[in-house]
Amino acid sequence: MAAAICAAVAVPDEIAGVVLLSGAYESKGGNSVDLLSFLQKARIFSSTVFRPSHQVVEYCRDDMLGLNDPLFSCKYTVRFLAMPDVKKLCLPAVMDVPVLVAVGDQDEMFEVEKVREFYDQVPQANKEFLVWKGATHAVISRDHWGQIVDWLDRKFSAESIEELKD
């Protein structure tokens, strides 16, 4: 989500539409970085200085299932901590493009209500919000992907593409 919004901010005239999946301004578990001990923070800092490509930051949630968790990915580089402040991310109001925001009702990272709050702040008039039954943050069914394709077909038919070229 952050990458799509950053691209839209950087080159708004080159964006024809935006699809934002499983994202909000606030996650379920808060920020796990705040829970790091001094020793963990020192390890991360020294890794940043001496081995910046070393994966030293562990992602975790209280309800994480270990290896069976779809979001289990061991460790990240320090770049994981350098994410932009998502509360400052928003689509440019001057962009007149269709926007799709979707989330699974079983998303481990974001509550549907928080994603809806994000959606309500999207300034574009041509927007749509989907809640996918049974979908998680990382596992989206073929049917759900089909809904994205259907949305793209509706928003970017041959006629609407010709209008964009003019």
pLDDT tens readout for residues 19-61: 999 888 877 764 455 566 778 777 777 777 787 777 766 666 5
Residue extent(s) of CATH 3.40.50.1820 domains in the chain:
2-29+84-165
Burial of residue 49 (number of CB atoms within 10 Å: 0-12, 13-18, 19+): exposed
- The CATH classification number of 2-29+84-165 equals 3.40.50.1820
CB 26: neighbour CB atoms within 10 A? 15
Residue 57 and residue 80: Cα distance in Å, rounded? 7
Q: What is the pLDDT of residue 31?
A: 47
Sign of CA dihedral 7, 58, 117, 155: positive
Q: Which residues contact 156 (CB under 8 A, 6 or more apart)?
A: 16, 17
pTM above 0.75, yes or no: no
Token pair of 76, please? Answer: 């990240």
Mind listing the pLDDT tens digit for each residue in 3-18?
888 889 999 999 999 9
CB 113: neighbour CB atoms within 10 A? 10
**What does 107-146 look like in DSSP terms, one character per residue?**
-SS--HHHHHHHHHH---SSEEEEEETT--SS---HHHHH
Residue 77 has pLDDT above 50, yes or no: yes
Stronger pLDDT, 136 or 87, i.e. the higher one: 136
Mind listing the pLDDT tens digit for each residue in 120-137?
999 999 999 999 999 988
Residue 82 and residue 29: Cα distance in Å, rounded? 18
Farthest CA pair distance, the chain: 59
The residue count of the chain comes to: 166
